[in-house]
Chain A
């Protein structure tokens, strides 16, 4: 039997601490440079402008942390996942470290295709300040709604029903410290940006209230039940 032309491996990495201010492109560039420094046998595209064959997931906003982001890497030779993780981490700062590397079993679907939801923790600042009960009330109303149409700024005035994309939403924190815990759609056709969820709550509260996050962490990416 012929050996495959390439081996695809996946790594879970984090984007935390001061490096949360990197943009998605900054992370992609940084990863590519780290991989080139590592000397790992990465597969390139053909042609004049050769690029590494890397596959990133949904962008994290500038300023947001990710505890377990996924990156797909095409390689020209098979190597033990542990070695890949180790050699990458030698070239990455701890705030962008690889926490796990794995290969796919024969015939398994790409983990990107299996993704369904993502969990977020958000620290919310409101101006003027809002009472916890008011925020909880807005969450309750949003969750009770059958649909919630939101005008998405990008996409040229596209109106999207965001309700089916909200799997769970709860207010956390204590005292003046307001947190939102969200589980939002994360598949290709069911993705919801956590910012949108915040906009929806804003609409449901007093119109003069503006909500923004001061901390945002994507804590986990979750696959459909039955898939890993």
Chain B
């Protein structure tokens, strides 16, 4: 904890306090101290369900003290530097450098410089090569690990795919290593490489130092040295009912971004949107059973006292027994003043009907994500939503009492032309008309908030070979939309071009970008997801000497005939499938959801016997 006189002077001091409700005192005789780090501030990190799941999974292992660490706000980071204090865990105030294992979650590429700075603040050499025996092992997982290469020089081991079982395996292996190596001193002097080799033999662990970076064509490709696999396969939890879930998570004192309880009803999505990384790398769909979810929901409310509960999935309405789940949850929780919310809805009337039952969300507005304006473009990205679907859903929402409709679009999609943007604007105007008609006398209160993101090609998607549209093009598109969406009902917000560009560079970057990241961190890039801290000129400077500007890196088209830096990672979907999807995209042909019956051989049939796109919950059976 920061000293008192410092806490009094920094913004939001309560986020640096330890011991929220449900946090147990760290045991003094733990044999392994794990620091789970989130490379952003507390309020963001504590809202991340995945981190809470890992925190819980690790806490179940005897002999492990699992602790958390978040990025301090810049004022507090400055105080740490000024006072020469190391960044430490919340629970036991152990400096990161004194932990055994330091793990980061990679949710967003723009957090990477923050990760490096957290290592420095915690007293750990940023580069793996500079870590001496006794220094902590630095691991990382999450969607960012699907292309680990930009961070390969800094992370000792990457954890691929579903993390809860993998982290537990890793901790158990470390515990037994410690057993055989004796007390901490023995650990410290032990050859670091032996420990890494031992852990890297676990399925789902990628050890970047064991792969030699070689320039192939225009890309740096990691090549296996001896004794490591050609490719590392991501872990997959087939049965969600069988893995631990946190029903007594720490209850923050300060307000966090998802300041409510969360239960994970399903993982993965097979709709097959071609831009969506999550929809590609978390296949197939795994559902948790209604019975277990009901139990978890009640335990969660009992243990936390939250006044809201979110049902978490990439696509909530696709959950097979969603109606039953919501009906029962509402009957049980609403008398206790607990509201339900479904953060991810489809564009259809069923979604509106579901949301209608959760009246609480009406204030926040009804959100739909058509992603692209023209049917042509929606076919290309495989977003199987028609204009009619959208208009009907909007109509239903406004009839049901919603006054605010939020629409999410992307621009800069492959093959996008001005006609597509005109179609986008026309679609928005149709939404306005549909909303006005449905609202009748209340039409003046209608608000249509249009949020326009920038397409960001990601690894392990059919668009991984595409470049991001250059800045000037994106800005012209944004301006065109501004001029086409002049309406008293419409509020347009567009994403920051500079941030999107850096995200794109890192998402498809290779190992050379490590130097850029290090330089960016040295120049002071920190908390870059925060528009107020994102500093474009610093980033420009960071790319000096990398041979290209950020924009040039981001807009590179890659050759489908040559290897990619992330080919070493097997996330379940194969390169063949992605290539086929790419071809289908370019010819404007959609691919149906494989749960409808036809297997598209995406690659998961290799690892899931009899895969039909969805693995239903193990319990099965209807509840009373």
Contacts and interface: CB of A to CB of B under 8 A. Distances in A.
Contacts of B253: 19, 22, 26, 29-30
Nearest to B17: A18
A214 B8 contact: yes
Interface in B290-314: 301-307
A32 B302 CA distance: 13
B301 A36 contact: yes
Contacts of A32: 305, 307
B307 A25 contact: no
Interface in B335-362: 336-339, 359-360, 362
Chain B interface size, as a band, is: 20 to 34
Contacts of A62: 13-14
Nearest to A36: B305
Contacts of B19: 18, 93
Nearest to B22: A37
A63 interface: yes
A30 B339 CA distance: 17
Contact of A37 (B7, B13, B255, B304): B304
Contacts of A18: 1, 17-19
A61 to B, nearest CB: 10
Interface centre among B307, B336, B339, by most A CB within 10 Å?
B307
Contacts of A29: 253, 255
B17 A37 contact: no
A51 to B, nearest CB: 8
Contacts of B532: none
B363 interface: yes
A91 B336 CA distance: 17
A33 interface: yes
A19 B1 CA distance: 13
B29 interface: no
Interface stretch (A42-50, A111-119, A195-203): A42-50
Nearest to B303: A37
A48 B360 contact: yes
Nearest to B5: A214
A63 B8 contact: yes
B251 interface: yes
Given A18-B1, A18-B19, A49-B360, A35 B305 contact: yes
Contacts of A19: 17, 253
Contact of B337 (A52, A63, A214): A52
Interface in A173-220: 214
Interface in B1-38: 1, 4-5, 7-8, 13-14, 16-19, 21
A23 interface: yes
Interface in A28-80: 29-30, 32-37, 42, 44, 48-52, 62-63
A21 interface: yes
B254 interface: yes
B14 A44 contact: no
A63 B305 contact: no
A35 B301 CA distance: 12
Contacts of B251: 30, 33
A34 B255 contact: no
Contact of B255 (A25, A35, A44): A25
Contacts of B306: 33, 36
B21 A93 contact: yes
B361 to A, nearest CB: 9
B304 A33 contact: yes
B539 to A, nearest CB: 34
B14 A21 contact: yes
B337 A48 contact: no
Contact of B305 (A22, A33, A50, A51): A33
Interface in A98-115: none
A60 to B, nearest CB: 13
B257 to A, nearest CB: 14
Contact of B21 (A33, A35, A52): A33
B286 to A, nearest CB: 31
Interface in B261-283: none
A36 B14 contact: no
A18 B17 CA distance: 7
Interface centre among B301, B305, B362, by most A CB within 10 Å?
B305
Given A26-B14, A35-B305, A37-B303, A63 B21 contact: no
A48 B14 contact: no
Interface string B35-66: 00000000000000000000000000000000
A42 B335 CA distance: 11
Contact of B13 (A34, A50, A63, A214): A63
Contacts of A36: 301, 305-307, 336-338
B7 A48 contact: no
A19 B13 CA distance: 10
B293 to A, nearest CB: 20
Contacts of A30: 21, 251, 253
Contacts of A21: 7, 13-14, 16-17
Nearest to B362: A48
A63 B16 CA distance: 13
Contacts of B303: 37
A124 to B, nearest CB: 13
Given A36-B336, A62-B14, A49 B363 contact: yes
Given A22-B253, A49-B363, A214-B5, A37 B302 contact: yes
A25 B339 CA distance: 20
Contacts of B18: 18
Contacts of B362: 48
A54 B421 CA distance: 50
Nearest to A18: B17
A181 B457 CA distance: 63
A170 B17 CA distance: 33
Nearest to A38: B305
Interface centre among A18, A23, A32, A51, by most B CB within 10 Å?
A18
B359 A48 contact: yes
A126 to B, nearest CB: 14
Interface in B220-268: 251, 253-255
B296 to A, nearest CB: 16
A91 B360 contact: no
Given A26-B253, A26-B254, A37-B305, A48 B363 contact: yes
A51 B338 CA distance: 9
A210 to B, nearest CB: 13
28 contacts: A18-B1, A18-B17, A18-B18, A19-B253, A21-B13, A21-B14, A21-B17, A26-B14, A26-B255, A29-B255, A30-B253, A32-B305, A33-B21, A33-B251, A33-B305, A34-B305, A36-B301, A36-B305, A44-B337, A48-B360, A49-B339, A49-B360, A62-B13, A91-B21, A91-B305, A93-B21, A214-B5, A214-B8
Interface of A: 18-19, 21-23, 25-26, 29-30, 32-37, 42, 44, 48-52, 62-63, 91, 93, 214
The 5 nearest A-B residue pairs measured at CB: A33-B305, A36-B305, A37-B305, A21-B13, A21-B14
Given A22-B254, A30-B21, 9 more contacts: A21-B17, A26-B253, A36-B306, A36-B307, A37-B305, A42-B337, A44-B337, A48-B362, A91-B21
